[in-house]
Copies of this chain bind each other. A is one copy, B any other.
Amino acid sequence: MAALLSAAISRVHMLSTSDHASVVSINLFVALLCACIVIGHLLEESRWINESITALLIGLCTGVIILLTTGMKSSHLMVFSEDLFFIYLLPPIIFNAGFQVKKKQFFRNFITIMSFGAIGTLVSCAIITLGVTQMFKRLDVGPLDIGDYLAIGAIFAATDSVCTLQVLNQDETPLLYSLVFGEGVVNDATSVVLFNAIQSFDITHMDHRIALQFIGNFFYLFVSSTMLGVLTGLLSAYIIKKLYFGRHSTDREVALMMLMAYLSYMLAELFYLSGILTVFFCGIVMSHYTWHNVTESSRITTKHTFATLSFVAEIFIFVYVGMDALDIEKWRFVSNSPGTSVAVSSVLLVLVLAGRAAFVFPLSFLSNLAKKTQNEKISFRQQVIIWWAGLMRGAVSMALAYNKFTSLGHTHLRGNAIMITSTITVVLFSTVVR
């Protein structure tokens, strides 16, 4: 009987081997995500570690194991796919950010948040771009053009709104929390918009007309993306309020909210707008209007489902980044010139610090001028906290760096490989040391 069975099993075996590799990697990924959640929970009390760091470390360890078992050939299971990140992982994270934001504080400080998020990112990007343009020529990084420098500026101007929040407490410091959180989200969106704008222009032949086009494009993307998000959110509220009057069905409501949120993101992509901004404002409108038209159980369900999806997507990204951090292909270039790599990472860290200081303090000063009561003003101590809390670089930076400096997950140029490894170093360093 045992012989029969084993024969039978080997039969089934042969049949499905073709896509068995993907089944193995899905299994490993899901198991790692579970492990991250459990370990992250166990370490919750600790001040020094959280789910993101756990996920990074677990990814690193798995990377080492894969590296050893495959004979130093590769450390990752799947090639980094932009589609995976931009179509499946990013939308729930950003939507949830919009959905969970404290709207009262957010709209009270709307102008400050928008100026921190939009103008601040531009300032930060400009300073980092100028800095790297000056420094990298001396460091012999490799052939990078002005488009690459601008892209580096955009990549490192993106703060990680998620990690950031683990330093602050919403109940103890509501003003700070809403400022840093709101800034983080607008900043995420701005840097993606900026990055796309840079990508789609031929910056090597910069002139007056192109600069104007660039600014026009930026504002067009910003305004129309926001409008699309607000409209989709309002439409969902209208549909649920008008059509479902008197007879509510939780499953339908939840399904409609999820699908319409996703639709807003995909519509923005369809019209070549910024899906990030759209889905963020769709989240705000949905939590402000749609959420109040649904049943009590729909409210609880949507609140936790969106948070859970966002949470899982983030952990997924961190495990992936941890696993990919050891990719031998990239480090081979670096090992030939370790000095350059350390120098690049240090320069980037210093520029991130400087770029952030260059807008937090002046913009806080301007914001304080507009406020009447002392209570609403941002004290110097608070400014320092805002500066420090927003220094972390996370998943969005990683995704943009991969988008810019790799093609289909592989790096062939020395300069590009150094940029990827430096991004990983900065993300690891700023996440762990804070």
Contacts and interface: CB of A to CB of B under 8 A. Distances in A.
Interface in A172-222: 196, 199-201, 209, 212-214, 216-217, 220
A267 interface: yes
Interface in A337-384: none
A19 B254 contact: no
A256 interface: yes
Contacts of A259: 30, 33-34, 37, 312
A157 B209 CA distance: 68
Interface string A44-87: 10000000000000000000000000000000000000010001
B11 A252 contact: no
A418 B12 CA distance: 28
A87 B26 contact: yes
Nearest to A248: B41
A304 B297 contact: yes
B297 A217 contact: no
Nearest to A39: B243
In the complex, the count of this chain's copies comes to 2
Contacts of A301: 300-301, 304-305, 308
A255 B8 CA distance: 36
B243 A41 contact: yes
Interface string A1-20: 10011011101110110011
A335 interface: no
Contacts of A244: 41
A237 to B, nearest CB: 14
Given A251-B307, A255-B308, A259-B33, A217 B5 contact: yes
B213 A16 contact: no
A31 interface: yes
A26 B266 contact: yes
Interface of A: 1, 4-5, 7-9, 11-13, 15-16, 19-20, 22-24, 26-27, 30-31, 33-34, 37-38, 40-42, 44, 83, 87, 196, 199-201, 209, 212-214, 216-217, 220, 239, 243-244, 247, 249-252, 254-256, 258-260, 262-263, 266-267, 269-270, 272, 297-298, 300-301, 304-305, 307-308, 311-312
Complex A-B, nearest 3 residue pairs according to Cβ-Cβ distance, in ascending order? A8-B217, A301-B304, A254-B308
20 contacts: A4-B216, A11-B200, A12-B272, A23-B266, A23-B269, A23-B270, A30-B263, A31-B263, A34-B259, A34-B260, A37-B255, A41-B243, A251-B304, A297-B300, A297-B304, A300-B300, A300-B301, A301-B305, A301-B308, A305-B308
Given A9-B272, A27-B263, A251-B311, 9 more contacts: A20-B270, A23-B266, A30-B262, A251-B307, A297-B300, A298-B304, A301-B304, A304-B305, A305-B305
